[in-house]
């Protein structure tokens, strides 16, 4: 692969995050390369979600840099980072549960909407054309993620696996340049997991963007990712191909505990 | 020139309607996209020429594997234009099965829906030397596939356009050469034994039979809307969605996804519809559940209107015309409830509603009749098309209606249904032996057991292979009787007994505790346990009446002559039922051996002592006197 020689999409340097006395992340160095699916694994409380939260601006680390398009993201607000094209999904699904799947997706497109609220209210001419254009984009995503049947269903009434799918669609609606997925397959049955894995691969092939995912299921990780980073107590203890990681002594110790 | 083939009929429609009438509609990206007859014709023409460019010869076979979409119809007509035949494959087939169909049908092309189906062919392509190309119409997920055997539907169309420029007359000439005897489709029948057989359907089957069917049942020339939903690999959809659509003509509507049918059907409001038995049951259950969630006031109106609907439907079934008063009351009920209800489930406009393939409970049929939807179960087969069909105004829940005019039905000595058909199939592909076994002296042996009632209506009961024999050699169908008895709300399960050593048919009945319990309460009958309730004289009388009702639809020798209400429920914990609640026949027969002996003896009371295994593993015995009752 030639990717190693390419400039990373996101460079994380010396990233450290602390909650009071708790060291959540400690001097993490990690490159997210263009054209790869990178998995972040680690035991509970290892700092995986905190790592994503730093990248998309929910947390501000006390030390270190996150370089994306020659900009340091560490001091930026989440909505600014979203506008720069970094989209994510959430472990606990953050959607408007009273709105339909479609409305949730339309709302997510707002970062790309040029007309203000006032013009939007009038809904004619340019605003109307803009809505239609966005709806077309969204229909492409609905097709991609096979959400036709739930398009007009209220999100709160959907089963968990499908809400996860809406969450992923919402992230895609932002037309991301980097996609961060926080446990996209947690709590799913085998069939739903297979579907989700297929969707992630489809997105990867179609959009050709780097995808970072936190995942516990090693089978999935082995199947769909090119590279894996392992966190344990806020420290990156290993990085490599899925095969290397599976055989790594430190990783086995982190998961199974010290003898 | 008389139209002999579907491509010729399509050409006529193209000349007659051009771009002025919609031939098909498909929902894509949330929008209904329309195709006119001109679009249809041109797609078929170019796809056909494209295939010929890739090496399709006259008379070649092509496999199609996908959901109901316009591309299926286009591909099928394109192949038929070249005098070829299509072999439809069901989308849920595993690669080994797909391989069998593609190999057996000698397919030179495979037309696939999407990645899922393409993957199947890529897995087996090395074992199919005759296969030239795999064509897909939905490119999703196939972006990075590089296999040279793949080509997209649109690319084939482009190839066809180029070829058309070279020789603009070629396609029409070819279509004009088509003959009614050309084989148009291979429909594989899921034989209960052995491998599936490919029934060859000719253009005559698709054109002449379907025109007769449409005229007989009145859906030709009405401009009806049709919802394409059943698998096109199935002969019924070949007749309705593909041939019927062109000959009707019907506007075919393709739902967005199988899961969105409920939503799409409402947007379309089709006139012609075919749902399988299970779907009617699901629809009924869905309505019941939604009503239960509704407000008290709405439920009250619904519960007032429904009995009115049932009453009037009952009158119509019995051949009586409801009186003026009833018509007024029904009119009110219709406007208060049924009209809105039908709108909600998308059945506002339905005129022609079919079901077939499996028994639908008479209660479900009556229910839909009550709200004004006449579901008609026809009897037919892949090989013989539609053989009997209840006509509007003469729908009886127990029967499959009168034989259709182009078919003659008689029964063999054993009770097998035999059919002589003006439009029979053309034999099984590469299997003349199997054809000979099924067709003797022009009569087709259906393998189905049934009889014709006094008014000539056909009643289909069971597969011949599943029949049991009574002493004296007469055959009967335990399953048919069991299914009919289970439709009764008071009977939860039943085992029908008989055999070469038995003179007549008997039944072991499991009462339905909940419904019989409610019956007992209403009649002020005190009872303690299931056992006690099951042996109450009133309950025995109730079950006897239910058996009487079913007996009335049975030929004399298969009527249930004696029964017992079992003292306990069949239980999966005791291995009497499988976990999916199917009766384990031989196990139960063995277990109640002595009781069954008593059924054929002359005692009226029989005492059982049964071991019961409790959930915690302990065992106990119960002793009960069971009444043996003559019907």
Contacts of B260 in chain A (CB under 8 A): 148-149
Higher pLDDT, B242 or A159: B242
Contact at CB, A205 and B263, closer than 8 angstroms: no
pLDDT at A116 over 70: no
Give me the domain span that covers residue A107: 98-175
In a domain, B497, yes or no: yes
Sequential DSSP letters for B104-164: HTTEEEEEE-SHHHHHHHHHHGGG-TT--EEEES--TT-TT---TTEEEHHHHHHHHHHHH
A 10 A CB-CB count for B615 gives: 6
CB of B405 less than 8 A from some CB of A:
no
How many domains would you assign to chain B? Answer: 2
Q: Give the A window 139-158 contacts with B, CB below 8 Å.
A: 139-140, 142-144, 146, 148-149, 151-152
- Residues with Cβ within 8 Å of B435's Cβ and at least 6 positions away in sequence, in order, are B427, B428
Higher pLDDT, B551 or B47: B47
User: Each residue of A213-234: pLDDT tens digit?
Assistant: 998 888 888 889 999 999 998 9
Q: Which of A148, A161, A169, A203 best tests the B interface by mutation, with the highest count of B CBs <10 A?
A: A148
Binned at pLDDT 50, 70 and 90, residue B580 comes out as low
As given in the structure block, the two tokens for residue B126 are 């090395």
Are B399 and B458 within 8 A, CB to CB? yes
pLDDT at B484 over 50: yes
**Closest chain B residue to A199 measured between Cα atoms?**
B141
Instruction: Report chain B's mean pLDDT, rounded to a whole number.
Output: 90
Contact at CB, B259 and A149, closer than 8 angstroms: yes
Say whether both A78 and A181 belong to one domain: yes
CB pairs A-B closer than 8 Å: 31
Contact at CB, B256 and A148, closer than 8 angstroms: yes
Q: Give the B window 24-43 contacts with A, CB below 8 Å.
A: 29-31
Select from A140, A149, A202 the Cβ nearest to the Cβ of B141.
A202
3-state secondary structure of A54: helix
Contact at CB, B143 and A205, closer than 8 angstroms: yes
Q: How far is B254 from chain A (nearest CA, A)?
A: 14
Say whether both A225 and A204 belong to one domain: yes
Alpha-carbon Rg of chain B, whole angstroms? 28
Look at residue B173 in the predicted model and tell me its pLDDT: 94
Q: Which of A102, A146, A149 best tests the B interface by mutation, with the highest count of B CBs <10 A?
A: A149
Quote the longest CA-to-CA distance of chain A: 70
Distances (CA, A) of B443 to A72, B212, B292, B408: 84, 20, 51, 9
For chain B, give the percent of residues with pLDDT over 90.
61
In a domain, A92, yes or no: no
State the CATH number of the domain containing residue B223. Answer: 3.40.50.12780
B416 has which bridge partners? B449
Torsion of CA B210, B213, B219, B224, to 10 degrees: -30
- Residues with Cβ within 8 Å of A228's Cβ and at least 6 positions away in sequence, in order, are A38, A39, A40, A41, A221, A238, A239, A240, A241, A242, A245
Say whether both A53 and A81 belong to one domain: yes
Contact at CB, B256 and A202, closer than 8 angstroms: no
3-state secondary structure of B509: strand
Task: Tell me how far apart the alpha carbons of residues A110 and B544 are, in angstroms, rounded to a whole number.
Answer: 69
Q: How far is B30 from chain A (nearest CA, A)?
A: 7
**Closest chain B residue to A202 measured between Cα atoms?**
B141
Task: Tell me how far apart the alpha carbons of residues B340 and B331 are, in angstroms, rounded to a whole number.
Answer: 13
pLDDT at A115 over 70: no
CB of B257 less than 8 A from some CB of A:
yes
Are A101 and A151 within 8 A, CB to CB? yes
DSSP label of A46: S
Look at residue B594 in the predicted model and tell me its pLDDT: 87
Binned at pLDDT 50, 70 and 90, residue A254 comes out as confident
Burial of B566 (0-12, 13-18, 19+ CB in 10 A): buried
CA A79 centroid distance within chain: 15
Contact at CB, A143 and B140, closer than 8 angstroms: yes
Say whether both A4 and A81 belong to one domain: yes
3-state secondary structure of B248: coil
Higher pLDDT, A110 or B260: B260
Binned at pLDDT 50, 70 and 90, residue B297 comes out as very high
DSSP label of A114: -
CB of B146 less than 8 A from some CB of A:
no
Higher pLDDT, B617 or B135: B135
**Closest chain A residue to B263 measured between Cα atoms?**
A149
Look at residue A1 in the predicted model and tell me its pLDDT: 42
Select from B31, B140, B256 the Cβ nearest to the Cβ of A144.
B140
Say whether both A80 and A184 belong to one domain: yes
Contact at CB, A146 and B257, closer than 8 angstroms: yes
Task: Tell me how far apart the alpha carbons of residues B429 and B201 are, in angstroms, rounded to a whole number.
Answer: 10
Mean pLDDT in residue range B595-614: 80
Q: Give the A window 1-20 contacts with B, CB below 8 Å.
A: none
For chain A, give the percent of residues with pLDDT over 70.
93
pLDDT at B269 over 50: yes
**Closest chain B residue to A141 measured between Cα atoms?**
B29
Length of chain B: 631
User: Each residue of A66-103: pLDDT tens digit?
Assistant: 999 988 998 899 989 988 999 999 887 788 999 999 99
Q: How far is A144 from chain B (nearest CA, A)?
A: 7
Higher pLDDT, B360 or B385: B385
Say whether both A190 and A254 belong to one domain: yes
Say whether both A158 and A222 belong to one domain: no
Task: Tell me how far apart the alpha carbons of residues B315 and A216 are, in angstroms, rounded to a whole number.
Answer: 64
Task: Tell me how far apart the alpha carbons of residues B486 and B587 are, in angstroms, rounded to a whole number.
Answer: 20
In a domain, A91, yes or no: no
Contacts of B264 in chain A (CB under 8 A): none
Domain final residue, candidates B229, B248, B274: B274
DSSP label of B240: I
Are B387 and B401 within 8 A, CB to CB? no
Contacts of B143 in chain A (CB under 8 A): 205-206
CB of A133 less than 8 A from some CB of B:
no
In a domain, B359, yes or no: no
Are B445 and B381 within 8 A, CB to CB? no
Contact at CB, B29 and A140, closer than 8 angstroms: yes
Contacts of B29 in chain A (CB under 8 A): 136, 139-140, 142-143
**Closest chain A residue to B30 measured between Cα atoms?**
A139
Q: Give the A window 185-214 contacts with B, CB below 8 Å.
A: 198, 202, 205-206
Tell me the CB-side half-sphere exposure of residue B382, using CA atoms within 13 A: 23
Look at residue B171 in the predicted model and tell me its pLDDT: 95
pLDDT at B190 over 80: no
- Residues with Cβ within 8 Å of B587's Cβ and at least 6 positions away in sequence, in order, are B575, B576
Domain final residue, candidates B228, B249, B274: B274
Q: How far is B141 from chain A (nearest CA, A)?
A: 6
Are B389 and B216 within 8 A, CB to CB? yes
Contacts of A202 in chain B (CB under 8 A): 140-141
pLDDT at B456 over 60: yes
In a domain, B352, yes or no: no
CB of B141 less than 8 A from some CB of A:
yes
Q: How far is A202 from chain B (nearest CA, A)?
A: 6
**Closest chain A residue to B260 measured between Cα atoms?**
A149
State the CATH number of the domain containing residue A231. Answer: 3.40.50.300
Contact at CB, A144 and B143, closer than 8 angstroms: no
Distances (CA, A) of B420 to B217, B238, B389: 20, 21, 16
In a domain, B104, yes or no: yes
Contacts of A148 in chain B (CB under 8 A): 30, 256-257, 259-260
Look at residue A258 in the predicted model and tell me its pLDDT: 58
Q: How far is A186 from chain B (nearest CA, A)?
A: 24
Say whether both A105 and A55 belong to one domain: no
Query: Does a cis peptide bond (omega within 30 degrees of 0) precede residue B188?
Result: no
Say whether both A76 and A186 belong to one domain: yes
Sequential DSSP letters for A136-173: HHHHHHHHHTT-GGGTTSBGGGS-HHHHHHHHHHHHHH
Domain final residue, candidates A153, A175, A197: A175
Are B445 and B439 within 8 A, CB to CB? yes
Are A115 and A127 within 8 A, CB to CB? yes
How many domains would you assign to chain A? Answer: 2
3-state secondary structure of B8: helix
Say whether both A182 and A76 belong to one domain: yes
CA neighbor of B271 nearest in space, from B121, B124, B373, B149? B373
CA neighbor of B614 nearest in space, from B622, B604, B624? B622
Are B178 and B203 within 8 A, CB to CB? yes
Secondary structure element (H or E) that encloses residue B327, with its range: helix B324-333
pLDDT at A4 over 80: no
Are B363 and B487 within 8 A, CB to CB? yes
Q: What is the arrangement of strands in the sheet containing A10-19, beginning at the earlier edge strand?
A: A22-32, A10-19, A63-68, A71-72
Binned at pLDDT 50, 70 and 90, residue A3 comes out as very low
Domain final residue, candidates B212, B242, B274: B274
Say whether both A79 and A3 belong to one domain: yes
Give me the domain span that covers residue B31: 6-274
Tell me the CB-side half-sphere exposure of residue A37, using CA atoms within 13 A: 22
Mean pLDDT in residue range B360-369: 86
Contact at CB, B260 and A148, closer than 8 angstroms: yes
Binned at pLDDT 50, 70 and 90, residue A2 comes out as very low
Are B451 and B479 within 8 A, CB to CB? no
DSSP label of B207: I
Distances (CA, A) of A68 to A21, A73, A259: 29, 7, 41
Contact at CB, A149 and B257, closer than 8 angstroms: yes
Contacts of B141 in chain A (CB under 8 A): 198, 202, 205
Contacts of B31 in chain A (CB under 8 A): 139
Are B409 and B421 within 8 A, CB to CB? no
Look at residue B34 in the predicted model and tell me its pLDDT: 96
Instruction: Report chain A's mean pLDDT, rounded to a whole number.
Output: 87
Contacts of B140 in chain A (CB under 8 A): 143-144, 202
Distances (CA, A) of B71 to B21, B64, B261, B268: 19, 10, 18, 20
B187 has which bridge partners? B199
Select from B29, B143, B260 the Cβ nearest to the Cβ of A149.
B260
User: Each residue of A141-156: pLDDT tens digit?
Assistant: 999 999 999 999 999 9
Domain final residue, candidates A175, A201, A230: A175
User: Each residue of B11-43: pLDDT tens digit?
Assistant: 999 999 999 999 999 999 989 999 999 999 999
Look at residue B277 in the predicted model and tell me its pLDDT: 82
CA neighbor of A100 nearest in space, from A110, A88, A108, A92? A108
In a domain, B177, yes or no: yes
**Does ipTM exceed 0.85?**
no
Look at residue B150 in the predicted model and tell me its pLDDT: 96
CA neighbor of A133 nearest in space, from A108, A101, A109? A109
Domain final residue, candidates A143, A175, A207: A175
Look at residue A118 in the predicted model and tell me its pLDDT: 67
| HEC sequence for B436-500 | HHHEECCEEEEEEEEEECCCCCEEEEEEHHHCEECCCCCEECHHHHHHHHHCCCCEEEEEEECCC
Q: Which of B26, B27, B28, B30 best tests the A interface by mutation, with the highest count of A CBs <10 A?
A: B30
The predicted model scores a pTM of 0.82
Say whether both A60 and A119 belong to one domain: no
Are A33 and A8 within 8 A, CB to CB? yes
User: Each residue of B522-534: pLDDT tens digit?
Assistant: 889 998 888 889 9
Select from A136, A139, A148 the Cβ nearest to the Cβ of B257.
A148
Distance between start and end Cα atoms, chain B: 63
Task: Tell me how far apart the alpha carbons of residues A129 and A122 are, in angstroms, rounded to a whole number.
Answer: 12
């Amino acid at each position: 692969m030639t990717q190693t020689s390419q400039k990373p999409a996101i460079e994380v340097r010396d990233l450290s995050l602390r909650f009071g006395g708790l060291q959540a992340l400690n001097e993490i160095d990690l490159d997210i390369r263009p054209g790869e699916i990178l998995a972040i694994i680690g035991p509970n409380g290892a700092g995986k979600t905190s790592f994503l939260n730093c990248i998309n601006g929910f947390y501000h680390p006390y030390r270190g840099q996150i370089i994306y398009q020659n900009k340091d993201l560490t001091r930026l607000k989440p909505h600014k980072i979203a506008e720069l094209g970094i989209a994510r999904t959430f472990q606990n699904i953050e959607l408007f549960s009273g709105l339909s799947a479609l409305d949730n997706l339309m709302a997510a497109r707002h970062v790309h909407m040029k007309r203000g609220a006032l013009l939007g209210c009038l809904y004619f001419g340019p605003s109307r054309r803009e809505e239609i254009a966005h709806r077309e984009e969204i229909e492409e995503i609905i097709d991609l993620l096979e959400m036709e049947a739930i398009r007009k269903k209220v999100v709160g009434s959907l089963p968990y696996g499908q809400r996860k799918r809406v969450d992923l669609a919402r992230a895609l609606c932002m037309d991301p340049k980097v996609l961060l997925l926080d446990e996209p397959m947690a709590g799913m049955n085998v069939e739903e997991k297979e579907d989700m894995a297929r969707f992630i691969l489809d997105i990867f092939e179609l959009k050709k963007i780097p995808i970072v995912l936190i995942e516990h299921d090693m089978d999935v990780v082995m199947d769909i990712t090119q590279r894996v980073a392992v966190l344990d107590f806020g420290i990156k203890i290993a990085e490599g191909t899925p095969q290397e990681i599976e055989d790594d002594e430190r990783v086995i110790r982190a998961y199974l505990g010290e003898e | 020139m008389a139209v002999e083939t579907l491509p010729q009929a399509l050409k006529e429609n193209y000349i007659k309607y051009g771009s002025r009438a919609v031939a098909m509609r498909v929902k894509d990206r949330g929008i209904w996209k329309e195709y006119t007859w001109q679009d249809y014709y041109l797609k078929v023409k170019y796809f056909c020429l494209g295939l010929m460019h890739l090496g399709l010869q006259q008379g070649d076979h092509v496999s199609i594997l996908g959901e109901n979409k316009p591309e299926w119809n286009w591909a099928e007509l394109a192949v038929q234009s070249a005098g070829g035949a299509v072999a439809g494959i069901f989308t849920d087939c595993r690669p080994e099965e797909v391989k069998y169909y593609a190999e057996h049908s000698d397919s030179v092309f495979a037309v696939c829906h999407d990645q899922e189906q393409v993957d199947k062919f890529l897995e087996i392509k090395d074992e199919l030397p005759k296969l030239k190309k795999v064509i897909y119409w939905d490119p999703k997920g196939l972006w990075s596939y590089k296999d040279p055997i793949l080509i997209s539907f649109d690319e084939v169309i482009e190839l066809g356009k180029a070829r058309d420029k070279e020789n603009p007359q070629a396609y029409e000439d070819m279509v004009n050469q088509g003959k009614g005897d050309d084989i148009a489709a291979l429909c594989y029948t899921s034989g209960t034994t052995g491998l599936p057989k490919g029934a060859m359907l000719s253009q005559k089957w698709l054109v002449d039979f379907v025109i007769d069917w449409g005229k007989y049942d009145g859906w030709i020339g009405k401009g009806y809307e049709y919802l394409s939903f059943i698998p096109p690999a199935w002969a019924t959809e070949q007749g309705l969605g593909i041939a019927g659509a062109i000959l009707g003509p019907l506007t075919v509507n393709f739902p967005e996804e199988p899961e969105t049918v409920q939503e799409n059907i409402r947007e379309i409001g089709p006139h012609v519809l075919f749902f399988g038995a299970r779907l009617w049951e699901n629809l009924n259950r869905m309505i019941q559940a939604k009503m239960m969630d509704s407000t008290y006031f709405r439920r009250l109106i619904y519960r007032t209107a429904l009995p009115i609907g049932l009453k009037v439907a009952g009158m119509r079934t019995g051949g009586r015309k409801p009186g003026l008063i009833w018509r007024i009351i029904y009119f009110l009920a219709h406007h208060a409830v049924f009209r809105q209800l039908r709108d909600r489930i998308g059945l506002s406009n339905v005129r022609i509603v079919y079901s077939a393939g499996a028994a639908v409970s008479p209660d479900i049929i009556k229910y839909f009749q009550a709200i004004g939807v006449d579901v008609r179960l026809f009897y037919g087969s892949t090989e013989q098309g539609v053989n009997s069909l209840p006509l509007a105004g003469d729908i009886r829940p127990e029967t499959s209606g009168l034989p259709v005019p182009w078919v003659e039905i008689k029964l063999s000595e054993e009770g097998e249904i035999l059919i002589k058909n003006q439009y029979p199939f053309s034999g099984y592909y590469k299997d003349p032996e199997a054809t000979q076994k099924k067709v003797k002296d022009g009569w087709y042996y259906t393998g189905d057991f049934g009889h014709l009632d006094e008014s000539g209506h056909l009643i289909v009961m069971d597969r011949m292979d599943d029949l049991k024999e009574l002493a004296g050699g007469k055959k009967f169908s335990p399953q048919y009787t069991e299914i009919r008895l289970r439709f009764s709300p008071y009977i939860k399960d039943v085992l029908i007994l008989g055999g070469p050593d038995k003179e007549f048919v008997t039944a072991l009945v499991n009462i339905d505790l909940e419904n019989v319990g409610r019956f007992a309460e209403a009649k002020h009958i005190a009872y303690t346990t299931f056992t006690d309730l099951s042996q109450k004289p009133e309950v025995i009388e109730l079950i006897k009446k239910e058996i009487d009702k079913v007996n009335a639809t049975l030929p004399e020798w298969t009527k249930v002559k004696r029964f017992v209400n079992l003292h306990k429920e069949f239980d999966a914990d005791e291995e009497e039922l499988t976990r999916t609640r199917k009766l384990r026949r031989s196990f139960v027969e063995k277990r109640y051996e002595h009781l069954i002996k008593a059924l054929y003896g002359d005692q009226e009371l029989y005492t059982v002592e049964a071991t019961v295994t409790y959930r915690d593993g302990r065992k106990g015995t119960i002793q009960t006197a069971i009444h043996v009752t003559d019907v």
